[in-house]
Structure 1
């Protein structure tokens, strides 16, 4: 539905808007009959929200020869606007790496019985105590080359004292103070600095008058690149303590190694130049997305992959993603199409 200049609908931002922009770019290139120095391949596939097993994972394992390219443009980054003026683009964050998702379960056991006779070893109490400890835990700040460059870019446009905090997130003596203030101010920046945990699923009990013998919670864990899930679980065990009633269950299979895509090539340069052209005040910075995308499967095959959501979105509209009244302003859709066309034609047109 189009209303008051906005396109409303599930996927308007994530990720049908991006798909439409890429399709329009391909049509524009064809209609302009632009001489191309490189092939341009449009790939639209499903299952990204569930890990990509029946989408990108299937394609890279069975049909890599059809999609292998010198560069890939994908979703995953974002255009950051001025909080007081959504038309003023401040930063263009290009995703060149991402956090790695794992699901970890806490399984608590206890004695089952009639709810009219309370029991001290109630498994729900044991599980809630473990969750309370996890809630109070803040994993340490760990910056990598991408996040260092990202925070450095943010600091350039901020005034003191926020610029000072952003520059000193991991500085000895004051880093903990600075990162604490930044973490409180922005949950996305908080997740960008460290490994993270979000409880997402609870399961326990079969009737309201029966004390269950087992209860469990699923923790959605997002690890920084190059972090090890086994090491993380060991730290998590220290946090919840050695309670014999609570076990940590997880899949220890390693995820494919996906090194960060470089920022010293033609595609990244094109994104920098087009960003300056469309938004002269904006700075293009590499970005590590807190969420997972199909890009990890392509990077694992050695294909430099870059994520960008090319629409200037304010925090209000960005927060509607996966939620109620997801929407995309038609002006922002137009900006995104123009950005993508300029980038692709810059990289692909023949001299």
Structure 2
């Protein structure tokens, strides 16, 4: 655990039902005169959805805007290029991302290219950015990725099928909005996938080599909330109490991993998502029990604590037996919300595991994993997750 550390998050975070109404006011305070909304075509056309509500708030504040709706799941370099071209053609002076992780990551990518260079792939890594992004605000619509508050921009090179991450404090949005009313109509599968991504953020942060007392507190509370409310949010998307608490948990998880970093689950999930264009949260959820069971010997007391946070009783058990109950609890919540049992079900092919393992060990998330593995170890973890 680190005792000397910095702590990053947006300077202003609005949370709670109805906070989306404050977007126009904040855009004005940031001297935004013509902003580009970065979103996808589904959200753009959703009647009274988050994009329409964002537009209404901007109109009320007298802020001009254009809409870029070319965001794809696992946003691609082509999406970033298209967004940059529209931003420049329309002479915009700020960005507002509206959606889940894909919209936020794409918006960050657009901002990166606008101020730091046209080839975003050359900026992959940690603190490679030398210039600030254009003013950026993020309106979040899912409880999971927390990209609306983090320094990570995860993009996919569509030619190589590889995901890469640009990690920089300059990527952190200036203002974030988490309004659970925007999340009421999120489909069950997306609710489950993003919720499990948030749980993975908490777990990986909690066992990360770079954890600190602040991130521990955030991860612990996040795990407890997700254990209580994710199943309810999946079962009934209009359960406002469940949606609100999942939004809170996602925010806590984002603050935790933005500062404590992650581990092999995310490093490997990026390879699955890039190679097969699979949903990120599902990739993380399927890999998490396998990877964390392998990690267990590095920090069994932490996994025992996770068991307790998820409602398990560990009285009288050995440290390792208690830790195993933590892993079993992760498996159970994943199964309950409908996550597939193995990576084979999302299209994984063993012939790709060698290359995927090589790239996973290069991923920026790999370096804070609590147990250090070899290429052979990572291949074996992919194989184990393939069998389920």
TM-score (norm 2): 0.24
More helix by share: 2
Q: Answer with 1 or 2: which has the greater Rg.
A: 1
How does the TM-score come out when normalised to structure 1? 0.25
Give the structure, 1 or 2, with the largest relative contact order (CA under 8 Å, sep 6 or more): 1
